[in-house]
Amino acid sequence: MTSADALSNLPPLHTDEAQHGALVLQAVRDAIERHGGWLPFDEYLRIVLYEPGLGYYSAGSAKIGSGGDFVTAPEVSELFGRAVARQCAQLLQLAGGDVLELGAGSGALAESVLATLQQLGRLPQHYYILEISADLRRRQQLRLASLPAPLRSRVRWLDALPDAPLAGVVLANEVADALPFKRFLIGADALLERGVALSAQGQLIDADRPADAALRAEVAHIAESLGQPSSLSAPWPWPAGYQSELCPMLAPWIAAIGASLSRGALLLIDYGLARHEYYHRQRFHGTLRCHFRQRAHEQPLLYPGLQDISAWVDFTRLAEAGEDAGLRLAGYCSQAAFLLANGIEADVAASEATLDRARLASQARALLLPGAMGETFKVMALARAVTAPLRGFQYQDLRGSL
């Protein structure tokens, strides 16, 4: 899709959006100039997604839910949070302690998990939320203020990972996909890194340059792990024009979380693939996606600061990062298998009212069906000092695919 095509399919900006977008655009232009006319794509993402007061996740705009740009599983149905809570309950039984949710969105997952854990008699000592977005933190606080006092009193917001390692569960639902990532392109005779530059008219444009040693090493590691080592005669296992993404931040991110976990498990839920699928030759244009008011497109330079930009997760990289951090790969399966193992069907069947049961069944299909979220989303558990099999992975074990 060209920029013109993308613009024609997207709704027009409101006046306040256009004004905010102009501020973000100027911040990007300034950064490009400071970098000598070319800005790496991950640096571009740091500005348009995370720059305080400007970035998409930092400024005050509706992001999640029917009135926002995209819908996450906790907003689809409370069934998702109930199933996640059952896995949390097992881990809290094994490890004790707390729950820490990273990037809690609207607060829907926290609300559902806490309510279900109360029903199960497995409430954590605290439910911590690490949220870098002031706007989302306010939304979470407003939503969770309606919880009963015994639940509300357990919720604490953090600005950073805790100084002292905690025992229990760390939840990361659709967090890894939002980390800044690099883009690479197979050129006719060289590996290229895709970045951002300015046109003669001052507009943002894609711009490629030869990859540096660090990026070449990252891509070479991917090629070698696919069993296709580079050589002088065939430098890369992909054809010219192939483009994709990689996220160097995943390893230090997992390392930091691992250092904050003394006993328990990190549960990662995100859309993604094992490496051999992610970097398949037929996935020629990569996995980058943008979302603006429920429309998906592939033009990350449109509407800077006003749209979500993400890429699918390389779950093999996550598993490698976990191993390097001293965490055990305790499970990897599809979201559908995880939810089924944690009783989503029983929740639907337990509804006595016919209309309510029909509503829940429709929501369950959105979470379970392969054409919806069921197979696109995966769940991974990285554990420390917990060796018991985890209930959410009893129906499917995809660890061998990594």
Question: Mean pLDDT per segment of 10 residues, for the chain of length 402 residues?
Answer: 54 87 95 97 97 83 50 88 97 97 94 97 97 89 95 96 96 96 95 97 96 95 82 72 97 97 98 96 95 88 94 98 98 97 93 85 91 92 97 98 96
Domain 73-179+249-401 CATH (choose: 3.40.50.300, 3.40.50.2300, 3.40.50.12710, 3.30.1360.120): 3.40.50.12710
Strands 313-314 and 261-273: parallel
Q: For the chain, state the CA radius of gyration.
A: 21
pTM beyond 0.85, yes or no: yes
**DSSP string of 357-394, one letter each residue:** HHHHHHHHHHHH-TTTTTTTEEEEEEEES--SPPGGGS
- Gap between the Cα atoms of 161 and 102, Å rounded: 9
pLDDT value, residue 258 = 97
Say what the pLDDT of residue 60 is. Answer: 54
pLDDT of residue 357: 86
Q: How far is CA 196 from CA 49, 92, 215, 249, in A?
A: 15, 45, 16, 19
Place of tokens 């100039």: 33
Close Cβ partners of 309 (under 8 Å, ≥ 6 residues apart): 45, 48, 49, 56, 288, 289, 290, 300
What gap in Å lies between CA 349 and CA 345, rounded to an integer?
6
Contacts of 314 (CB under 8 A, 6+ apart): 246, 247, 250, 272, 273, 274, 275, 278, 279
Give the model's pLDDT for residue 351. Answer: 83
